[in-house]
Amino acid sequence: MDNRMDEQLNDDTDPSPGRPEWVAEAVNETPEKSDPSKANVPLHRPTLARRIGEEFVTWVKTFASAAVYASLIVTFGFQVARVEGKSMEPTLQDQDRLIVNKAVYQFFDEPQPMDIVMLYYPRDPDKSFVKRIIAKEGDTVRIENGQVFVNEVPLPDSFVPPEFRSHENHGPEVVQESYYFVMGDHRNNSSDSRHWGQVPQKYVIGKVQLRWWPLADATLF
């Protein structure tokens, strides 16, 4: 959180041109009579220990606020995730940090082809993967000579470089009801629906909404 405070200084002193500033100050002041009771009274200055204590309290408040915000993010349907592996290159890189929107599929929409999603591995739901949805229920998927066809229409996948395409043929395969066919963007280096089958809708955790790290590559999806 970035807390900012605007400080405005008001100065009513307006010295006349050519007259020293100290003169302008002097004519607006009435000499005060000396008060023996105020003599030699030391100015109150905060001690070093007090300043350190105040800074410590400020840091505690900052970290507490961050913890609250993180809890709200998780509670209201977002999750922080980290990419491990290269199966989604070049779109996502190994060790990228992501924000996964879990609420969007629970309350607003269903997963759609071309969405990048976080999902449970069908063969071991304790593991989670990041893949791209290629087709949904009722669609027919076929792969031939590196080109993916969905319902006999070439998939628009210019984001996949030629050297990342797999030339192993697959299908045709019809996607079951409430299932999805998923693939990694690095198709010759990805374990996906071609190898372990279609993904049930209940295993789709959420949509990858944002890559927030590295900051230089921050991207909304």
Q: Give residue 13's pLDDT.
A: 41
Query: Among the residues of the chain, which ranges form H helices?
Result: 21-27, 48-75, 103, 193-196
Domain ranges within the chain, ordered by starting residue: 47-76, 78-215
Interval 85-119: pLDDT, tens: 999 999 999 999 999 999 999 899 999 999 999 99
Whether 131 is catalytic is yes
Instruction: Give the closest residue to 181 by CA, choosing from 148, 156, 145, 206.
Output: 148
Q: Give residue 24's pLDDT.
A: 30
Q: What is the rounded average pLDDT of the residues 150-177?
A: 95
Tokens representing 113 are 């082809």
End-to-end Cα spacing for the chain: 24
- Provide CATH code, domain 78-215: 2.10.109.10
Instruction: Give the closest residue to 116 by CA, choosing from 216, 5, 190.
Output: 190
State pTM to two decimals: 0.67
Q: Binning pLDDT at 50, 70 and 90, where does residue 75 land? A: low
Among 131, 166, 193, 207, the active-site one is: 131
Q: Give residue 3's pLDDT.
A: 40
Whether 87 is catalytic is yes
Q: Report yes or no: 89 and 164 within 8 Å, Cβ to Cβ.
A: yes
Q: What is the rounded average pLDDT of the residues 141-160?
A: 96
The mean of the pLDDT values for the chain is: 81
Among 34, 86, 87, 178, the active-site one is: 87
Q: Binning pLDDT at 50, 70 and 90, where does residue 62 land? A: confident
